Structure 1
Amino acid sequence: MKCFKLGFIINPIAGIGGSVALKGSDGMVMHALALGAKPQANIRATLALEVLLPYKDNIVIYTASGLMGEQCATDLGFNVEVIYQATNEQTDSQDSQLAAQALLAQGVDIILFAGGDGTARDIANVVANDDYQAVPVLGIPAGCKIHSGVYAITPKAAGRIIELMVTKELVTLTTGDVMDIDERLFRQGIVKAKRYSEMKIPSELRYVQAVKSGGIESDDLVLQDIAANVIEEMNDHGERQFIIGSGSTTAFLMSELGLANTLLGVDIVREQTLITSDVTEAALYQAITDHSGLSQLVITLIGGQGHVFGRGNQQLSPRIIRAILAQSGGRDNIIILATKAKLAALGNKPLLSDTGDIELDQQLSGFMTITTGYKDQVLYPLASPQ
């Protein structure tokens, strides 16, 4: 039986700035490490490969040295061929591109990569070559910014797609857009995204995320009603602190409060006063544990994808979410805001939680109350993607 040739690349620094509120890793690696950030890309890549362990005798993994793939695949016991040696301990986009070139030269069946939108662009720069456009790719979500439609919805879902290919299931191929934003503007709260390219991907819709919907909500009246509902909650419970997540819907709430907002970060509000802006994961955990009253999360979903955790809000780590759930009220301490139009755009697909902690994602699964207007709420399912 012919072995499946799996090309495998990890961007070891992908997403490293997320938990320390740096909004990305471009040019910020040393700063992120100094703030206590811990690399997560290899951990998330491991979750994907673990799905393939029952088939490891039928798979050869072609990869790059060290933390770019070799260590992860070898530790799991796969048959590994290292076809690219990184020259520096701290890898960069050139390493990703050179590794992709080496994989394509080996005639791999698919390139599986772990990273964010920047890594997707690096891979696309190589795959876009006319000689290689037929080679499919698939992303394991591991970055701060994941706007592109070339990623599985979770690391485990990425593994399941490869499993379908290994077991010779019919897998339809389509094209996915590669998107990216300017991190310099991103850190200033300005989202400027554009389409850079496209790549061929397996189109198993159970497992592959949509391109993130862009733009600001246009129905200001609905957003005003949603904001009014939350503000009334704040008035009724002055002893509580509210942790305001990222997104345009929560930004509208902050605008209605007359408070400065970190569009792509996390802020803390108490008695309608901004206590801390653009807070890191560590500072947020300290704020929750130090506060004598309840702490409640106010979050929204990523339009077009449905993620409420694990995309653009890595400050809301598993221990943060568990600390919120452990308080009186449990799941009711997670306040999700969304217009009905935004929910309808999901096409009956559930909301998604991809915290990186499978047990927590399963705990969060079930119907959640979504605030869709003033005194207007709906029940909507939240799932732990498999």
Structure 2
Amino acid sequence: MIGLIVNPVAGLGGSVGLKGSDGADVQRAALAKGAEPKAGRRAAQAVATLLARRPGARLVTVAGAMGEDSARAAAVPYELAPSGVQEMSTDVSTDVSTAADTRAAVAALADVDLLLFAGGDGTARDVLDAVRELGGQAPPVLGIPAGVKVYSGCFALSPATAGFVAADFLARPESAEAEVVDLDEERYRRGLVSPRLYGSLRVPAGRAALSGRKAGSSDAAPATVEGIAREVAARLRPGARYVLGPGATTAAVGRELGLATALLGVDVVEARAGGGADLVAADVTEGELFELVRGREAVIVLSVIGGQGFVLGRGNQQVSPRVLDEVLGDGSGDRLVVLATQQKLAGLGGRPLLSDSGDQELDRKLAGHVRVITGYRESTIYRICAASEEFYG
């Protein structure tokens, strides 16, 4: 028996550049900027994969957008548990779930063999709180990644992977501990990255299919990051627009160009003839980014999340499938530039770079090998694959 809980507002602030979705004010601001809820869709993908692999599994969930809507969208049989959670409508602009709703749903599903939850690091914290209250009666859990950042180690690599892992767990119910990490989003929006360990959750064993905890980049030698920035600056093509994703390495590119770019946002710069670049727009939303690259020669510059290997789908949701399609066309070629120190690549232990853009077909199209700039006049060819297919392709 598998339980399902969805935080319907998880990830809402990603595509509109709000760097998180915690708090009703942020959620309302995200909706006002045109954000579309996606957590329910990602949960549906997970349970559809689960039931296709394990048709006899019983799916138990709670009413409305906190689970039932996703089960219906996946067209799978399900049961409702009496939870005391208010039924959320699909329209999250009128009904917004709270941390208390998540905790109540966990309590209602305490008897399942495995509890799936769709959300981000904030949702993982709420699940952890509820699991602590249940004590030894708590089931193991598994996160379906649907948040903006997803730094915790209790999440599967992708929604489809969550379904595969859950199906395999029913046959081999072995578990391990995984860490729950979260950021203070207010500090994060001010460019202060201060992850905090909150505890651990019991998850299905098989860590290779889980995201793992994000590793920091503070140990990278400044000269190495500056060398990467110099190499990017040296490769600029006059007239082309460059999309700089979030992160310390891409921020170094902005500094090298003498521009005030956002550490944790997505910026667009345009290379000048004769060298240098101009800042076209800083900290853009997905909609703004699409308009800025539409019909233009453009290049997307992204860094790698240390320890996890993600290039797309974690903290850079502004670089959406339609933006990628517009820029990359039929293939990435030299229009996707990946940045990482040799130390960060070595930390992956041979595991590939990952793409979880939200469009599985696009992720498959990107799969193969990509050039990674690792220093000044230094680069390497490294494998990249769809997060949904790395271990269950």
Q: Give the TM-score of the pair, scaled to structure 1.
A: 0.93
Aligned residues: 373
Is the deviation greater in 196-205 or in 274-283?
196-205
Q: 1:269 to 1:178 in 2, by over 3 A?
A: same
Contact 1:217 1:248 in 2 (8 A): no
1:121 to 116, 125, 129: 125
Question: In the alignment, residue 256 of structure 2 is paired with which amino acid?
Answer: E
CA apart distance, 1:258 = 2.4
Aligned to 2:96: 90
CA apart distance, 1:78 = 1.4
Aligned pair 1:108/2:106, yes or no? no
Q: 1:290 to 1:74 in 2, by over 3 A?
A: closer
1:152 to 129, 149, 156: 156
Distance in 1, Cα, partners of 2:184 & 2:177:
23
Aligned to 1:22: 18
CA apart distance, 1:77 = 2.6
Aligned pair 1:282/2:296, yes or no? no
Aligned to 1:79: 78
SS of 1:303 mapped into structure 2: coil
Aligned to 1:230: 232
Aligned to 2:343: 341
CA apart distance, 1:265 = 1.1
Question: In the alignment, residue 9 of structure 2 is paired with which amino acid?
Answer: I
CA apart distance, 1:72 = 1.4
Contact 1:73 1:80 in 2 (8 A): no
Distance in 1, Cα, partners of 2:238 & 2:62:
54
CA apart distance, 1:172 = 3.5
Contact 1:174 1:201 in 2 (8 A): yes
Residue by residue, what CA displacement relative to the aligned partner does 1:332-372 show, whole Å, maximum 9, x if unpaired?
A: 10010111110000000000000111100100000111111
CA apart distance, 1:54 = 3.0
Distance in 1, Cα, partners of 2:196 & 2:76:
40
Unaligned runs of 5+ in 1: none
1:39 to 27, 37, 40: 37
Residue by residue, what CA displacement relative to the aligned partner does 1:199-253 show, whole Å, maximum 9, x if unpaired?
A: 111132331111001243531121122111111112xx22111110011111122
CA apart distance, 1:376 = 1.3
Residue by residue, what CA displacement relative to the aligned partner does 1:138-192 show, whole Å, maximum 9, x if unpaired?
A: 00000012110000000000000011023x1x35421111000011111112111
Aligned to 1:165: 169
Unaligned runs of 5+ in 2: 89-94, 272-276
Distance in 1, Cα, partners of 2:50 & 2:287:
34
Aligned ranges 1:314-333 → 2 under 5 Å: 314-326=317-329, 330-333=332-335
Distance in 2, Cα, partners of 1:377 & 1:321:
23
Aligned to 1:54: 52
Aligned pair 1:266/2:270, yes or no? no
Aligned pair 1:185/2:187, yes or no? yes
1:311 to 314, 321, 327: 314
CA apart distance, 1:131 = 2.5
Q: 1:133 to 1:321 in 2, by over 3 A?
A: farther
Contact 1:128 1:199 in 2 (8 A): no
Question: In the alignment, residue 308 of structure 2 is paired with which amino acid?
Answer: Q
Aligned to 1:243: 243
SS of 1:264 mapped into structure 2: coil
Question: In the alignment, residue 192 of structure 1 is paired with which amino acid?
Answer: S
SS of 1:59 mapped into structure 2: coil
Distance in 1, Cα, partners of 2:21 & 2:108:
25
Q: 1:217 to 1:263 in 2, by over 3 A?
A: farther
RMSD: 1.7
Q: Give the TM-score of the pair, scaled to structure 2.
A: 0.91
Q: 1:85 to 1:331 in 2, by over 3 A?
A: farther
CA apart distance, 1:134 = 5.5
Q: 1:203 to 1:254 in 2, by over 3 A?
A: farther
Aligned to 2:9: 13
Aligned to 1:353: 355
Aligned to 2:63: 65
Question: In the alignment, residue 336 of structure 2 is paired with which amino acid?
Answer: I
